Chains A and B, each alone.
Chain A
Amino acid sequence: MSGHLLEVTDLAIRFGTTGGGVQAVDGISFHLDRGETLAILGESGSGKSVSASAIMAILDCPPGRIARGSILFEGRDLLSLPESERRRLNGERIAMIFQDTLAHLNPVYSVGWQIAETLQAHKGLSAREARAEAVRLMESVGIPEPASRANDYPHQFSGGQRQRLMIAMAMALKPALLVADEPTTALDVTVQAQILDLLREARDSTAMGMLLITHDLGVVADIADRVAVMYQGRIVETGPVREVLGNPQHSYTQRLLSAVPGREPPPARPPVADLPVFEARELTKHFPITGGLFRRPTGEAVRAVDGVSLTLRRGETLGIVGESGSGKSTLARMLLRLEEPTSGAILFEGKDVSSLAGPELLSFRRRVQVVFQDPFASLDPRMRVAEIIAEPWTIHRDVLPRARWNARIAELLSLVGLRPEHAARYPHQFSGGQRQRIAIARALALEPEIVICDEAVSALDVSIQAQILALLDQLQRAMGLAYLFIAHDLPVVRQIADRVAVMQRGRIVEQGPCEEVFERPQHPYTRALLAASPVPDPDAQAERRKARRELAGV
């Protein structure tokens, strides 16, 4: 019997029943010791989350099925334990935190109740004792005013606070093993850094083992001791983080690392002539807060965008970076004239966009196109790819005669790296990256001059992200497009943008040429953002962590 805390041997998980089915996990083996963090690194579909579910005994069976293998925890095989004994381990000896905290916390119970429940279930504490302990736990993870906030519900907390609550719930009984499934994925970088600090503290104070499931190389570099790289259901490479990230042996790990944006100096950008096409002047958008019997405005307002001025030149890429709630997307919606500004002006080729009507507005709509973040939501599931791409032509009838539609659809699909025969398929038959290519083809159908990319690569795996960024760059050079590139990921913006504007709480706090802003940030917020953005190098990451602590004055 080995002394490892957790030892997984030859674990295989299949999905689907008789005959066919998919081998989601194909014989993986790894171990984890007390006080250690093992990261399982992989892109979507690699089988990393399914493995975590199997360890927690929360795999959906059916359709999932553990085909073979063993999971030893403190020397006992979890897979052969009786159900009730297995259940008692969960929450007490093994705990888990999840990615999408809004969905993973029960929306209809107060957070205090949900934390107390774990204590009551395993320790038989009275409701009063459990609640007092829950409040103490909330305080320990840094929730202000824990006694009153314990009565609040998950939706009343921010994403970062919800993950803190999840951690409080998981740490309630000081488990020996914590499984963390993408714990910081949807969070802003500054919040991510805080959550990683909190996890590090929790691990070090209780000497628990942490199994971290992630796709983010920067997170791995920040917190893990060892890493196992998963690809198509197998572990292709495993070892200490410094070795695997510094000197990757397997070709997949090498590919993954080279796809990370910002590793190499950004490619030289073609020069941009000083020809402004899009201009925003003192743009504001306030959403009034209403109340009372007749829902009258209370006079207060949410200042989503608060006096933003920017210029986009022909053929250039202007990056807009900022964290969630900074007003980036509201700004994009106003520029697209999907949202009326409260005040300020938007000029397109010198003309006020709000005054456009009839054929002039139609022409504006044609020349300014958009690519959204979620390629699963932005393509109509009941339309074929050909119909999706051709739809703009049914509105803008003078662009292309109907006889040439099919030829042009084939051209556009080749242009974005798909095959002409894909035109007859439906969106669900494509991967996320392919769908984003379709969305780009649709945007290009009208031969626009400006494409607004609203977090267009944020939902994609790094290797796919790199491909889409290369595609956007290539299209820009060939067609002279101007991009307004909105993103929360700084290295991505650095790679693609000529100039960058940093947004915080509805305002642009700093803007200028990319290199200047990234190399010599002036505003403290820009500096904080840069320091919080993780890099896939443990030593550089430790440096950044130190810099960040100094910035925060710790």
Chain B
Amino acid sequence: MGSFIARRSLQSLVALAGLIVLVFFAARLTGSPADLYLPIDASVEARQAFNEKHGFNDPLTEQFGRFLVDLARFDLGHSIRKDRPALEVVLEAIPTTLALAAVTMTLAVAGAILVGSLAARRPGGAVDRLGSTLSLAAASAPDFWVAISAILLFAVALGWLPTSGMGTFWHWIMPVGVLLIRPFGILVQVVRGSMLGALSAPYVKTARAKGIRERTVVFVHALRNGLLPVITVAGDQAAGIVNGAVIVETIFGWPGIGKLMIDSIIQRDFAVIQASILVTAAIIFAMNIVIDLAYGLLDPRVRHA
């Protein structure tokens, strides 16, 4: 177990190193920040001074070297836009996104397990047909359209919910609702498929031959086996949200990492771009390790392999 975590962490570090190189140079392809932060008629001297101050005049390799040295001290640079340490800005936005992702995924997984299992219990039955149709629609609905339509309907026309921002319980309903649709739709289909397999497995016959109640057969015997592929897909969907629910956060003015990333790319705030990508990458690597551990927790055969 310990050696497994160590091995996976090592692999993650290698991937992270590659990402660091990529992010540093890709960020600088967006153009010069001086064009954005100085008045349009700023003098050549002023531009020089700005670039000098932020170190943009040095050769790229030198800038990269400095970046690495700072990184080793967990210093991810300074935000030009906010005039604060970049890491501080990022760490402020992360919990907001994580909370959104956690609430969304909990609801999506729980709902999908219920609907998917009931659908698999009677393939071709009413729950199955309704669930399959709705989940297909949900999985294929474009989220920006759903988000804007929801604002128009619930916030503008009916006035039931706030249009954007966060703070009260009511602020959560639309972002969570919109974000939830796709993972829920996909997960219902995954749960249905894997539960169909699990429910026709020989050990389910054994459970029935033991006279176990049907509810226990489905939600204890079959579900724990059927959950394995669900975890993989749920982890993937959760990573998608953590990685910046860019559109939803932007539309609903949710001050999370997705919105921060978009803003800093538009503003050429290199340090914040780098910091936010590195931090989210680290979180996603950690999530992947947790998913692998969850596999082992659910399936002893993985644990002993």
Chain A interface residues toward B at CB < 8 A? 53, 56-58, 60, 87-92, 95-96, 98, 100, 103-110, 117-118, 121-122, 153, 155-156, 166, 169, 292-294
Contact = CB atoms under 8 A, between A and B. Distances in A.
A169 B207 CA distance: 11
Contact of B206 (A87, A106, A122, A153): A106
A58 B211 contact: no
B299 interface: yes
A546 B151 CA distance: 84
B46 interface: no
A87 to B, nearest CB: 5
B84 interface: no
A107 B304 contact: no
Contact of A108 (B10, B216, B224): B224
B207 A106 contact: yes
Interface stretch (B196-204, B236-244, B260-268): B196-204
A100 B213 contact: no
Contacts of A166: 206
B63 to A, nearest CB: 35
Given A90-B210, A98-B205, A106-B207, A153 B6 contact: no
Contacts, number: 84
B203 A60 contact: no
B73 interface: no
A19 B194 CA distance: 31
What 7 A-B pairs have minimum CB-CB distances, sorted nearest first?
Answer: A91-B211, A90-B211, A91-B210, A103-B202, A106-B203, A96-B209, A153-B300
B53 interface: no
Given A155-B304, A293-B6, A108 B209 contact: no
Interface string B289-305: 00000000011110010
B3 interface: yes
B12 to A, nearest CB: 14
Given A103-B201, A104-B206, 15 more contacts: A57-B208, A58-B205, A87-B211, A88-B211, A89-B211, A92-B211, A96-B206, A100-B202, A105-B203, A106-B206, A117-B210, A118-B210, A155-B300, A155-B304, A293-B10
A95 B207 CA distance: 11
A400 to B, nearest CB: 44
Contact of B225 (A89, A106, A122): A106
A103 B7 contact: no
Nearest to A294: B7
B213 A87 contact: yes
B212 interface: yes
B210 A169 contact: yes
A58 B300 contact: no
B299 A91 contact: no
Interface of B: 3, 6-7, 10, 200-203, 205-214, 216, 221, 224-225, 298-301, 304
B209 A121 contact: no
A121 B200 contact: no
Contact of B210 (A60, A109, A121, A294): A121
Nearest to A295: B7
B212 A104 contact: no
B3 A292 contact: yes
Contact of B205 (A92, A104, A117): A104
A387 B23 CA distance: 52
Q: Which among A90, A156, A166 has the greatest number of chain B C-beta atoms within 10 A?
A: A90
A395 to B, nearest CB: 35
B209 A91 contact: yes
B283 to A, nearest CB: 24
A60 B199 CA distance: 11
Contacts of A57: 208
A345 to B, nearest CB: 34
B58 to A, nearest CB: 40
B144 to A, nearest CB: 40
B115 to A, nearest CB: 22
Nearest to A108: B224
22 contacts: A53-B205, A58-B208, A58-B209, A95-B210, A103-B201, A103-B202, A103-B203, A104-B202, A104-B203, A105-B206, A106-B203, A106-B207, A108-B224, A108-B225, A108-B300, A109-B224, A117-B212, A118-B210, A121-B211, A166-B206, A293-B3, A294-B7
A122 B211 contact: yes
A90 B209 CA distance: 5
A155 B210 contact: no
Contacts of B298: 108
Q: Which among A56, A58, A108 has the greatest number of chain B C-beta atoms within 10 A?
A: A108
Nearest to A95: B209
Q: Which among B212, B298, B304 has the greatest number of chain A C-beta atoms within 10 A?
A: B212
Nearest to B223: A108
A117 to B, nearest CB: 7
A107 B225 contact: yes
A110 B10 CA distance: 32
B214 to A, nearest CB: 8
A153 B303 CA distance: 11
Nearest to B298: A108
Given A100-B202, A122-B211, A293-B3, A107 B300 contact: yes
Contacts of B211: 87-92, 118, 121-122
A159 to B, nearest CB: 14
B299 A107 contact: yes
Contacts of B207: 106
Q: Which among B10, B203, B209, B225 has the greatest number of chain A C-beta atoms within 10 A?
A: B209
Contacts of A153: 300-301, 304
Contacts of B224: 108-109
Q: Which among B206, B216, B301 has the greatest number of chain A C-beta atoms within 10 A?
A: B206
Contacts of B206: 96, 98, 104-106, 166
A546 B304 CA distance: 41
Nearest to A179: B209
Contacts of B299: 107-108
Contacts of B221: 106, 109
Contacts of B304: 153, 155-156
Contacts of A106: 203, 206-207, 221, 225
Contact of A121 (B6, B7, B10, B213): B213
Contacts of A156: 304
B305 to A, nearest CB: 10
B200 A60 contact: yes
B15 to A, nearest CB: 18
A152 to B, nearest CB: 8
B202 A56 contact: no
A455 B96 CA distance: 62
A105 B301 CA distance: 13
Contacts of A53: 205
A104 B301 CA distance: 15
A156 B301 CA distance: 9
Contacts of B301: 107, 153, 155
A60 B205 CA distance: 9
A166 B202 CA distance: 13
A123 to B, nearest CB: 11
Contacts of B214: 87
Contacts of A169: 210
